[in-house]
Structure 1
């Protein structure tokens, strides 16, 4: 119950912040930025912002590799929230985290989609892609420009904080996934994964054994 209250509090607090407390939204600049990203006009986009936008997608994929298995055993399936998170980021994800019940089992067959999500190759691809994004943003990014936009633009500000929440909340689903694979009793391993933002969970995807059917 405390977990659910905490998650709903985070969700409501983030919504209030984005709607009423964040820097003003610049509709034209935001639409232009999204158009440039989605039409591959990347040369005119700050690499920090481009990397951050792509890392949000990595986070959604990371959660999908865990929660589509979890959703199989829940009253509410995960896929509507996965679709919502593509458009709204962490705002679409947190309600599922708050509504789901603790679940350490998986039954049934893995279809082709679940096979891909369960594959260590998927984890390795996401890890290498993330390392490339981090290197690209750190080396080539204009961090002064990013800081200015973070402080003055609601979209950049909210996207940045959403990325932090994605990283912060992953431990809420990590324990159950480890238990489904027989590793929850190793608390040191749990904290080793949980306390390294993003890269710890990605390393877990590369290492975790496939679920048995």
Structure 2
């Protein structure tokens, strides 16, 4: 629970400031002080920004306020409906995503996440228990099926953990693609996801440091091509969820001797110690990315009951992936507008 609160809290702060004064550039002929299409959520977020601003500045507020504001902007995207002055919301999105893009960014979260990653790497490489290096190599060879049947029975809990760690990168791939891509940086997410199949959370946290939302619009053609057609498939989600929950049940049915032996391995083996820490980190951060994906898909009102469930290691995010709706698809006009503004 402590890791969960730290992981979600740090990541939720990784948003740029949103200067309220700059919203006026979108234009609103009826009220120049209030940006067009911002009045629908002004009663929830914008008034608190207006009260704290004098001359366009912002006072120090909890980072979650800006996080909530950014997602409220995202939740109006890609609807394709016509607004009151005849312009589509796709065009308004192209302008909205630029709000605060040139302003000062808060790097506090990125720095904290980087320090966390550095501390973890130092602990794993220098401070973690390392009393059985030869046994670690033997276990790794057995788990990779590089050793034949020599009569040794592998610990049931360790086997389940090993295969769950092989499934977790699929869960993160489905959570981060496409809803956690960065539109405000040129850092792609897929290299970090590939590294996570070998390094787990130790390979993903650097992307969390560099992540700059909101995500770019998703085109219909993208969903029909690899890898999104695979990652968005309910069949993929069902296979991953069933496999993971089966492995959790397999570990849960292990005998008390197996669990005692596993805890002894945890205290002595660097390989098993680092793997358990990796599992805890992936479980801690997953709740935030479930919330991010849920919000991008405009499913927060209906699916918020799944957020507490997402705190359950592996099973919670896997069940969410099975139940989540399709991601909204942007029109070609909106995508062209965003590309033109970037160019």
Normalised by the size of structure 1, how large is the TM-score? Answer: 0.89
Segments of structure 1 that go 5 or more residues without pairing to the other structure are none
Bigger CA radius of gyration: 2
- Once residues 138 and 282 of structure 2 are traced to their aligned partners in structure 1, the CA distance between those partners, rounded to angstroms, is 25
Segments of structure 2 that go 5 or more residues without pairing to the other structure are 1-106, 330-343
Structure 1 residues 153 and 139: CA distance shift in structure 2, 3 A: same
Structure 1 residues 136 and 24: CA distance shift in structure 2, 3 A: same
Alignment of 1:119-138 (within 5 A): 119-138=233-252
Higher helix residue share: 1
Deviation for aligned residue 1:190: 5.6
Normalised by the size of structure 2, how large is the TM-score? Answer: 0.57
Q: 2:115: which partner in 1?
A: 9
**Counterpart among 268, 285, 293 of residue 177 in structure 1:** 293
Say which SS state the counterpart of residue 140 (structure 1) adopts. coil
Which aligned segments of 4 or more residues in structure 1 are displaced greater than 4 angstroms? 40-43
Once the two structures are superposed, residues 88-114 of structure 1 have per-residue CA deviations (whole angstroms, 9 ceiling, x without a partner) of: 221111101111112255323221321
Q: 2:161: which partner in 1?
A: 52
Alignment of 1:2-81 (within 5 A): 2-24=108-130, 26-39=132-145, 44-69=153-178, 70-71=180-181, 73=183, 75-81=186-192
Structure 1 residues 136 and 209: CA distance shift in structure 2, 3 A: same
**Counterpart among 190, 193, 210 of residue 99 in structure 1:** 210
Higher relative contact order at CA 8 Å, sep ≥6: structure 1 or structure 2?
1
Deviation for aligned residue 1:178: 1.3
Structure 1 residues 25 and 101: CA distance shift in structure 2, 3 A: farther
- Once residues 205 and 320 of structure 2 are traced to their aligned partners in structure 1, the CA distance between those partners, rounded to angstroms, is 21
Between 9-18 and 105-114, the greater mean CA deviation after superposition? 105-114
Alignment of 1:77-92 (within 5 A): 77-92=188-203
Deviation for aligned residue 1:135: 1.5
**Count of aligned residue pairs for this structure pair:** 213
- Once residues 319 and 112 of structure 2 are traced to their aligned partners in structure 1, the CA distance between those partners, rounded to angstroms, is 27
- Once residues 176 and 90 of structure 1 are traced to their aligned partners in structure 2, the CA distance between those partners, rounded to angstroms, is 18
Once the two structures are superposed, residues 139-185 of structure 1 have per-residue CA deviations (whole angstroms, 9 ceiling, x without a partner) of: 13511110111001111011001100000011332232112211235
